């Protein structure tokens, strides 16, 4: 059983032109389920053939247009033809485009509205950059080669260069403001270190964060400290992208680092940043040390210490996992035990660096 995939072009005057793209041979039965439909290789060949035929037809229509001379505005005639190889998502397309010479002054002109130095389509560049942002360059290149009939631009180094090029364009573009404004925005900023496993190599400080709105709008930003990327510009651009106005209420969350607070202030987030539950949980380590150091020289104090140590550990777990409402239960229990101990041992009892103390003794 055989099929012929035929591409039919319909002109504006109704004339039709046909081109056979590919012949597909498949068995008549399904004795082998692997023969069901097209294979990946056949699908890639079919897409590549369609892309080449459509691209060549577009190039022929584009070549008919004649530019005017930019020097004398004279009539231009065809000088010669040049082949241009353009990488697309469905294979490399070779288009044949003319060059023109002015009949009056002899000036050379290219085709009308044909982009100079075009080597790939924007769709391919964007997909390569998107995959390279999610996985290593070599893995992204192998994925493209396996799934799409890409003939060019599948080398890992090519993906790296194109990804950085698109990143430069995005970094310099102004943020597109949404139609709806945001009455309140939450800004989160934190930093971490990427440490090199090699001796003598530098460690990178990476600053990451995001902005969120109540309606679900979200923008993520990141930058390497002491690099060319200005984190303050990224924060302001992210705020504009989710609908910040002069009346928008900004709430910032970060740790106690003065450098991060200064970055937020320079990015026009002037409100005092707050600790989120994650960083509050990190700071409970000191409280756990105090609880473990409480005195247990009599049964009442031993019971109280056991309750406090247990509740502090439970409080740490609840805060670490974002269970803020449940964390209040642990705080109330710790407060109740401490008040009970103060009531039993009198007004002079307190918590010192070595546990419970009694100034009346």
Residue 268 or 99, more confident = 268
In a domain, 69, yes or no: yes
Q: How does the average pLDDT of the chain come out, rounded?
A: 81
Regarding whether 87 and 19 lie in a shared domain, the answer is yes
Q: What is the CATH number for 202?
A: 3.30.420.10
- Return d(Cα 323, Cα 81) in angstroms, integer: 69
Strands 184-194 and 249-253: parallel
Mean pLDDT over 238-249 rounds to 88
Give 34's contacts (C-beta < 8 A, 6+ positions apart): none
Q: In the 3-class helix/strand/coil scheme, how is 143-154 assigned residue by residue? A: HHHHHCCCCCCC
Q: What is the pLDDT of residues 171-214, one digit of tens each?
A: 666 666 777 888 999 999 998 888 777 776 677 889 999 999 98
Contact indicator for 280, 299 with CB cutoff of 8 Å:
no
Output the pLDDT for position 356.
Answer: 42
Counting the structural domains of the chain, the total is 4
Domain residues for the domain of 91 are: 2-109
Residue 344: what pLDDT?
64
- Do 208 and 231 reside in the same domain of the chain? yes
* pLDDT score of 187: 93
C-alpha pair distances (Å), 277 with each of 251, 262, 280, 281, 327: 15, 21, 5, 6, 10
- 205 and 236 in a single domain? The answer is yes
- Is residue 115 included in any domain, yes or no? no
Both 145 and 232 in one domain: the answer is no
Say if residue 357's pLDDT is above 60. Answer: no
- 218 and 252 inside one domain: yes
Distance CA 162, CA 145 (A): 16
| Better pLDDT: 70 or 148 | 148
Which of 184, 193, 178 has its CA nearest to residue 212?
Answer: 184
Mean pLDDT of the 95-120 span: 75
Task: Judge whether 116 lies within some domain.
Answer: no
Band of residue 358 on the pLDDT scale cut at 50, 70, 90: very low
- Cα–Cα distance for residue pair 72/68, rounded to 1 Å: 8
Specify whether 35 is located in the same domain as 50: yes
Q: Do 268 and 286 fall within a single domain?
A: no
Q: Are strands 184-194 and 204-213 parallel, antiparallel or unpaired?
A: antiparallel
Give the mean pLDDT of 165-173: 73
Domain end among 82, 109, 136: 109
Residue with tokens 């440490």: 195
Ramachandran sector of residue 268 (left: φ over 0; alpha: ψ -120 to 50; beta: rest): left
| 114 within a domain of the structure (yes/no) | no
Q: Per the domain annotation, does 127 fall within a domain? A: yes
- Report the C-alpha gap between 95 and 65 in whole angstroms: 15
Q: Does residue 177 sit within a domain? A: no
Number of alpha carbons in the 13 Å side-chain half-sphere of residue 239: 26
Given pLDDT bands bounded at 50, 70 and 90, which one contains residue 108? confident
8 A C-beta contact, residue 273 and residue 186: no
Q: Please check whether residue 83 lies inside any domain of the structure.
A: yes
**Are 229 and 223 in contact, with CB atoms under 8 Å apart?**
yes
Cβ atoms of 96 and 86 closer than 8 Å: no
Domain final residue pick, 274, 301, 324 = 274
Last residue of a domain, one of 220, 246, 274: 274
Q: What is the pLDDT of residue 252?
A: 92
Q: Is residue 179 assigned to a domain?
A: no
Asked if residue 343 has pLDDT above 80, the reply is no
Whether 6 and 98 map to the same domain: the answer is yes
Whether residue 337 is predicted with pLDDT greater than 70 in this model: the reply is yes
Contact (CB, 8 A) for 80 and 98: yes
Same structural domain for residues 80 and 9? yes
Using DSSP's 3-state secondary structure scheme, residue 106 falls into: coil
CA–CA dist 352, 124 (Å, integer): 66
Q: Which of 103-117, 136-150, 263-277 is predicted with the least confidence, judged by mean pLDDT?
A: 103-117
Q: What pLDDT is attached to residue 185?
A: 93
pLDDT at 352 over 80: no
pLDDT of residue 184: 92
pTM: 0.53
Mean pLDDT of 294-306: 81
> Is-contact 76 109, C-beta < 8 A?
yes
- Does residue 146 have a pLDDT over 80? yes
- Of 113-117, 157-161, 251-255, the one with minimum mean pLDDT is 113-117
- Under a CB-based contact definition with an 8 Å cutoff, are residues 338 and 350 in contact? no
Same domain for 291 and 257: no
Same domain? 143 vs 215 = no
pLDDT, residue 81, reads: 82
Lowest mean pLDDT among 161-170, 204-213, 340-349: 340-349
> Running DSSP on this structure, what letter comes out for residue 248?
-
pLDDT for the residue 250 = 92
- The reply to whether 64 and 85 lie within a common domain is yes
Rounded to 5°, the CA angle 94-95-101 comes to 140
pLDDT at site 45: 87
Q: What is the pLDDT of residue 189?
A: 92
């Amino acid at each position: 059983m055989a099929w012929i995939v035929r591409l039919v072009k319909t002109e504006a005057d109704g004339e039709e032109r046909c081109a056979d793209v590919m012949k597909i041979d498949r068995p008549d039965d399904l004795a082998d389920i692997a023969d069901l439909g097209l294979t990946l290789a056949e699908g890639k060949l079919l897409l590549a053939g369609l892309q080449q035929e459509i691209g060549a037809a577009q190039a022929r229509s584009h070549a008919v247009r004649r530019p005017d001379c930019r020097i004398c505005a004279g009539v231009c005639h065809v000088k010669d033809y040049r082949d241009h190889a353009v990488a697309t998502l469905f294979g490399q397309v070779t288009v044949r485009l003319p060059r023109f010479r002015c009949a009056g002054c002899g000036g050379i002109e290219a085709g009308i509205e044909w982009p100079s130095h075009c080597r790939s389509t924007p769709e391919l560049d964007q997909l390569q950059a998107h995959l390279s942002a999610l996985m290593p360059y070599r893995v992204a290149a192998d994925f493209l080669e396996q799934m799409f009939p890409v003939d060019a631009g599948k080398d890992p180094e090519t993906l790296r260069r194109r990804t950085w090029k698109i990143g430069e364009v995005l970094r310099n573009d102004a943020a597109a403001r949404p139609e709806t404004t945001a009455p309140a925005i939450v800004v989160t900023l934190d930093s971490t270190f990427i440490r090199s496993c090699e001796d003598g190599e530098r460690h990178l400080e990476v600053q990451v964060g995001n902005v969120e709105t109540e309606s679900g709008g979200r923008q993520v930003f990141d930058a390497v400290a002491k690099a060319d990327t200005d984190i303050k510009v990224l924060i302001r651009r992210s705020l504009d992208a989710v609908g910040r106005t002069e009346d928008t209420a900004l709430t910032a969350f970060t740790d106690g680092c003065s450098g991060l607070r200064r970055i937020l202030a320079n990015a026009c987030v002037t409100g005092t940043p707050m600790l989120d539950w994650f960083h509050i949980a990190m700071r409970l380590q000191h409280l756990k040390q105090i609880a473990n150091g409480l005195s247990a020289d009599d049964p009442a104090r031993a019971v109280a210490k056991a309750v406090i140590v247990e509740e502090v550990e439970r409080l740490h777990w609840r805060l670490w996992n974002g269970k803020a409402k449940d964390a209040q239960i642990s705080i109330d229990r710790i407060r109740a035990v401490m008040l009970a101990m103060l009531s039993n041992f009198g007004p002079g009892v307190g918590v010192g660096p070595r546990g419970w103390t009694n100034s009346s003794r």
